[in-house]
Structure 1
Amino acid sequence: MIYVVEVPEHAAPRAWFAYDEADFARKVAAGDTLEPWEIHDQLTARCLLEDMGHAEVDALARECYPAICALGDSHGWDTALYRADHLLGAGVLSAEPVSETAAHEAALAARGGLTCVYHGDRDAIGAFEGADPRIAGPAHWHARRALYEQLVALEVLADDN
């Protein structure tokens, strides 16, 4: 399980969960202004060129799509390129790997306020018990309470209160 606590600047904290990385990606994308492939994508320069209708890297392809051809020439036509607009900037492709998790966590962070993501029951329980300084202490009681309620709803914790 993946647990998320969102603390908007001017609204009550809320907690939610995802079953796994695919569910997390789907739920993040559902609440984002960008398309899922803008949040995270992995492709090659060859695939980009083929998507534009050019099966070959010829003079016409180089004339029509110089930026794509420059990517293919500099990184290799079959090298994985990553897109993660919230991390890299709009439309930027990088040969440096970007994990799907990092891209989706950046999408959550771009919404503003505080966002805490916990991968697994142990991390979420620890955060509720005060192990995460971002939501520890009296000032963050509402955020911890939202996480507690989510953990109880999923029967990870017993409702003792």
Structure 2
Amino acid sequence: MPRVLDAERNVLEIEDKISGDILEVHYRMPENSQRVRYSNALTVRKGGKVKIAKDIFTIQAGFGFELLTGIKKGDFVIGGRAFASEPGDPDFDPKWKEHVRAGASDVLAYLARTVFGAVDKPSDGVEFEDLETPEEDFSLDATGDVEAAAPEATADPLSGR
């Protein structure tokens, strides 16, 4: 699927484990200067050292707030009422963005991590596959004890034998 460079609306679907729903947020692509600010906010280079910011989550949530342009109506509720981000909608709330920041900063941080980290190198050819049957049985025994059901160790794993 190609990257659409002139999209009217960028949409990110996020699996929200709190609500159990898929949330839809709308965002704008960051400008290059904003990409530089994001990178510089996460790490500071001083001499031969690189220092990592202490509160990465807050930085990510702040940049996500800057990118956020809308939400799908009904994905967020405040005071028992769903609200919308579209000005023409009867349920439009002019404070919709502030509501999202106050109650769903995790969504904003995820948005920033996804958009600013959207490019990566191709995989090194390492493939993962699900095992149909694990090599060891880690099921519970009749007493509910995992250790009793696990096979006996034949050597001390720290000894190298």
How does the TM-score come out when normalised to structure 2? 0.26
Task: Please say which structure displays the higher CA radius of gyration.
Answer: 2
Which is helix-richer, 1 or 2?
Answer: 1
How does the TM-score come out when normalised to structure 1? 0.26
- Higher RCO (C-alpha under 8 Å, 6+ residues apart): 1
